[in-house]
Structure 1
Amino acid sequence: MDIDIPHQLGKAEAKRRVEAGLPKLEKHIPGGGTVTAHWPSDDVLDMRIDVMGQSIPTRLLIEDANIRATVDVPMMLKMMSGPISDFIRTSAQKMLTGPA
């Protein structure tokens, strides 16, 4: 599943805000969960969201005016694709529009 999150911050500022928001992300996972993340390159963030006994691999590509999230929803959570997509979109938007 691909999710586009437009922004007007430029790549560097968008990356900075995403990095600043990562530590808060786990607190907002419905029902609890964990997030592990690393940057394999300057503009790509690989995350793994562990929730309900399942892992959801997620990759964020930070671009000048957009963040492209690619989410691999496991079969056991396919019925939750809509809420998972909403969570990722809302979380990214909060990170991007949060304090500068």
Structure 2
Amino acid sequence: MKFEIPHNLGRAEAKRRIENGLPALERHIPGGGSVASSWTAEDRLALQISAMGQSVGVAIEVEDALVRGEIEVPLMLSMMSGAIRDFVEKSSRIMLEKPGPSRA
């Protein structure tokens, strides 16, 4: 499943806000869970979201005016794919909206 979120932050600020928002992401996983993240390229973030014995992969690419994402939902969770997509997209939007602490 793919999603796109337009923004007017510029690439560097969008990356910073996403990075700052990642620690809060775990707290919002229904039923609890964990999030592992790594920047696999300068503007590409890989997430592994785990909950209830299942894992969902998310690839995020940050562009100057757009954040693109692709979510890989395992077969066991396919009936919840819409809710998972909504959670990831909503969380990404929230991270982009909140400036978070600056790195001075």
TM-score, normalised relative to structure 1: 0.96
Q: Determine the C-alpha separation between the residues in 1 that align with 2:89 and 2:75.
A: 20
Q: Determine the C-alpha separation between the residues in 2 that align with 1:41 and 1:96.
A: 19
Q: Please list every run of at least 4 consecutive aligned residues from structure 1 whose deviation after the TM superposition is greater than 6 angstroms.
A: none
Gap runs ≥5 in structure 1: none
1:13: Cα distance to partner?
Answer: 0.4
The aligned residue for residue 23 of structure 1 is: 23
Q: Aligned partner of 2:69: which letter? A: A
The aligned residue for residue 58 of structure 2 is: 58
Cα deviations across residues 51-76 of structure 1 (Å, max 9, x unaligned)? Answer: 11111111000011111111100000
Q: Determine the C-alpha separation between the residues in 1 that align with 2:65 and 2:32.
A: 31
1:18: Cα distance to partner?
Answer: 0.2
- Identity fraction in percent: 52
Q: Determine the C-alpha separation between the residues in 2 that align with 1:79 and 1:7.
A: 30
The aligned residue for residue 43 of structure 1 is: 43
Aligned residues: 100
Q: Determine the C-alpha separation between the residues in 2 that align with 1:10 and 1:89.
A: 19
SS in 2 for 1:8: coil
SS in 1 for 2:36: strand
1:40: Cα distance to partner?
Answer: 1.1
Q: Determine the C-alpha separation between the residues in 1 that align with 2:42 and 2:78.
A: 30
Q: CA RMSD in A?
A: 0.8
Q: Determine the C-alpha separation between the residues in 2 that align with 1:88 and 1:60.
A: 10
Q: Aligned partner of 1:85: which letter? A: R
TM-score, normalised relative to structure 2: 0.93
